Amino acid sequence: MKLQLDCLPCFLRQVLEASRMVTKKTEIQEKIIEEAIKILRDFKNYRTPPELAREIHGLVKIYTRDPDPYKEIKKQSIEIAKKFYKPLKEFLNQQGDKLYWGLKIAAIGNVLDYGVYSKINLEKNLEKELKKEFALCDLENFKEKLKNAKIILILGDNAGETVFDKILIEEFKKYKIFYAVRGIPIINDATLEEAYESGLHECAEIISTGCTLPGIDFKECSKEFSEIFNQADIIISKGQGNYESLSDIKKDNLFFLLKVKCPVIASHIGIDVNNYVFKKQNIT
């Protein structure tokens, strides 16, 4: 998905929120905003939103002199998510179509963005979010693909969400599962560390995409990731950043699983904001 003009004010707002989340020093917050505006001036040099996100959110690392400013927030998100693991497993075991509900739980995990959801918030909203149907759900198509599948690749997104993804993956007992995470810390996205902290190694082989942006950049991907990306029978891409990176790729075995939080993506998919989507990539 191409970078849109709407992304520019949104990134500026995001990086302000981000800088406030990781430092109390207003002079650093101000410096980050100043530098972000300089980057925005060259917005035409960036192809997709994650490419610009890498630069803009990279400022937070530079000016806080911390290569992983969200470390604590990611840790908290995982801790919060883990408290929901058992009740969600129990809920899932009571359902008829466990695959549908596994996907739904993994999609709800996508709400755990930016560490903005406290345990209390999540508790209050979980039931409501569970009840919300997918606005788009290519489940039958997915089930059809599963019949002949051996290898499933999941492209992870946020830390915390990883725990919800584990619940989905545990339903894929018959398959070889790869779970791919960012190559370096970027925003609150999961890296190898958070994937292990979430226990994903118990049900999947954790790999790094090799990418430094909150999405996929094929120029950056490791050889290992590229091979698995090409060999996988099914790819499940989680969240908005991965969607923005892959939405133009013609791949018949690619499924997007996300909560749509931004109007640009909503309009690109053709649904309203705040909806859940499990969408097979359109290759026509």
Binding site for its own copies (CB under 8 A): 5-6, 8-10, 12-13, 16, 29-30, 33-34, 37-38, 40-41, 43
Looking at the Cβ atoms of 112 and 264, the one nearer to its own copies is 264
Looking at the Cβ atoms of 41 and 173, the one nearer to its own copies is 41
Looking at the Cβ atoms of 39 and 106, the one nearer to its own copies is 39
Shortest distance (Å) from residue 30 CB to its own copies: 6
Shortest distance (Å) from residue 271 CB to its own copies: 21
Shortest distance (Å) from residue 12 CB to its own copies: 4
Shortest distance (Å) from residue 7 CB to its own copies: 10
Shortest distance (Å) from residue 5 CB to its own copies: 5
Looking at the Cβ atoms of 27 and 140, the one nearer to its own copies is 27
Q: DSSP letters along the chain, please?
A: ----TTHHHHHHHHHHHHHHHH---HHHHHHHHHHHHHHHHTGGG-SSHHHHHHHHHHHHHHHHT-S-TTHHHHHHHHHHHHHHHHHHHHHHHT-S-HHHHHHHHHHHHTT--TT---HHHHHHHHHHHHHSPEEEE-HHHHHHHHHT--EEEEE--BTTHHHHHHHHHTT-TTSEEEEEE-SS--TTB--HHHHHHTTGGGTSEEEE---SSSS--TTT--HHHHHHHHH-SEEEEEHHHHHHHHTT---TTEEEEEE--SHHHHHHHTS-TT-EEEEEPP--
Looking at the Cβ atoms of 12 and 135, the one nearer to its own copies is 12
